[in-house]
Amino acid sequence: MGILDEKITSIIKETAEELYPDMVAFAQKLVQTPSISGTEKALADLDLEEMKKLGYDEVFRDDHGNIVGLVKGTESGPTIMYNSHMDHVSPGDAANWEGYDPYGGLIDICKVDTQDKHPDEAECIHGRGASDVKCGEAVQIYAGGLLVKLREKGIPVKGTFMFVGVVQEEPAEMVGMLHLVDKTLPQKGLTYDAMVSSEATSLKLYCGHRGRVEMLITVYGRTSHGSAPWLGINAIYKAIPLITKIKDELYPSLPIDSDLGQASVSLNIIECSPGALSIVPDKCMLSLDRRTLPGETAETAIEQIQEIIDDLSSKDPEFKADVIVKSAIETSYTGVSYEVDKDMSPWKISREHGFVQAAAEALESVEQKVQYGYWDFGTDASKTCGIDRKPTIGYSPMQEQYAHTPYDKCRTDFMKTALIGNVAIYLNTSSAGEEAYQKVEW
């Protein structure tokens, strides 16, 4: 059993009630502060100032623009990272927002789903990023503040609570997270033992998601005048049998995971070059979104496409193509640039893993129903669990179905529940034994 007895849970809930109004007001400020990828400075400034106000023992910004806040326990123990990203996607056309200002942070009573996606009405914060992930971010920061207050009241706190706000999560290359974990933390003499993500989970414990690889296939032809196509080799026509094989043969053959679903491949962009009406194209570029399962990698995904290319080449001497993992250059608001592959690892943690068990026990201790889930989209947990194999879960007040939509919102009652839940998870997992920090395997 964990350490969360009736006295401690009562103090957690009382303190959460005290902090709740300020936490909601802070979440509103975050939603009202635009922070599209590469422009997160103003939001980072707000986070740093709030952590100082809440009494964090140490806060800092790294050279890439990520921020870190530490609350140190009264006893030795693990360092548990609470992770949020600070960027958001474009709000799109404001006309689609049903009268809400995407950066208004308005609070009202509205139609919103329950935890299990049934129709309901509740108080919500509206605006871009409310569900991805600014309300969850506010909750995590205030969880650290609540731990400070517990420490002041003489409640024993083990280990170190580490809040991290990372830049540039939305482009899906993990550039901010990679810099933070692989460079900043070692430079500061810091490490982490497990991670709790604030990505939307509807107060459920999320235990994994598929990986994501962006691939670029280039099919080659030969130009000729559009009036004499027989003199050229049309790269678009040459791409048709390749597209057909990907759709009708590769996709249906991809593996299925009982929790994460089927691996998938989607052709999302087709371009050609030179791209002029009077010229037969000599290049056709196909951009594929490949979702991978544990056990699959970018290399195995590339090999599957290469096999199709080789098969078509053996039957058609004029068929020529190649395939690569796409890359991009990402520059942070501090001016630091990286060229990074568009490759995010899949991951999955067993519900029987000690960290998950301790988190579930914590939620039960504060009378929260324990349910499990898995994300459809990708997160920076691809680094912590997919690469580093550290115990990782998601727990958040936000709801996945509202992310990246013009209905972006978050229930404030869920925020209060999540504040209590996050603190309970920290206290119980930080007191768990070595089994909670075993390397994640699949």
Q: pLDDT per residue over 320-366, tens digit each?
A: 999 999 999 999 999 999 999 999 999 999 999 999 999 999 999 99
Residues 53 and 178 in one domain: yes
Of 304, 329, 354, the residue at which a domain comes to its end is: 329
Q: For residue range 276-321, list pLDDT tens digits in order.
A: 999 999 999 999 999 999 999 999 999 999 999 999 999 999 999 9
Mean pLDDT, rounded, of the chain? 97
In this prediction, residue 3 carries a pLDDT of: 80
67-99 burial, b at 16+ Cβ within 10 Å, e below that, comes to bbbbbbbeeebbbbbbbbbbbbeebeeeeebee
The string of pLDDT tens digits covering residues 84-103 is 999 999 999 999 999 999 99
Inside any domain, residue 339: no
Share of the chain above pLDDT 70, in %: 100
Tell me, yes or no, whether 374 lies in a domain: yes
| CATH number of the domain that residue 163 is part of | 3.40.630.10
Number of domains making up the chain = 2
Question: Where is the domain boundary, 303, 329, 355?
Answer: 329
Q: How far is CA 231 from CA 167, 270, 274, 281, in A?
A: 50, 23, 16, 12
- Asked whether residue 103 falls in the same domain as residue 144, the answer is yes
Pure H helices in 72-221:
135-152, 175-179, 185-187
Whether 242 and 362 map to the same domain: the answer is: no
Question: What pTM value is reported for the model?
Answer: 0.96
Question: For residue 310, is it left (φ>0), alpha (ψ between -120 and 50) or beta?
Answer: alpha
Both 181 and 304 in one domain: the answer is: no
> 279 with 360, same domain?
no
Residue 157 in any domain: the answer is yes
Range of the domain at 307: 211-329
Residues 38 and 187 in one domain: yes
- Based on the domain organization, do 61 and 79 belong to the same domain? yes
Are residues 187 and 41 part of one domain? yes
> Is residue 1's pLDDT more than 50?
no
Within this chain, do residues 203 and 216 fall inside the same structural domain, yes or no? no
Residues 193 and 183 in one domain: yes
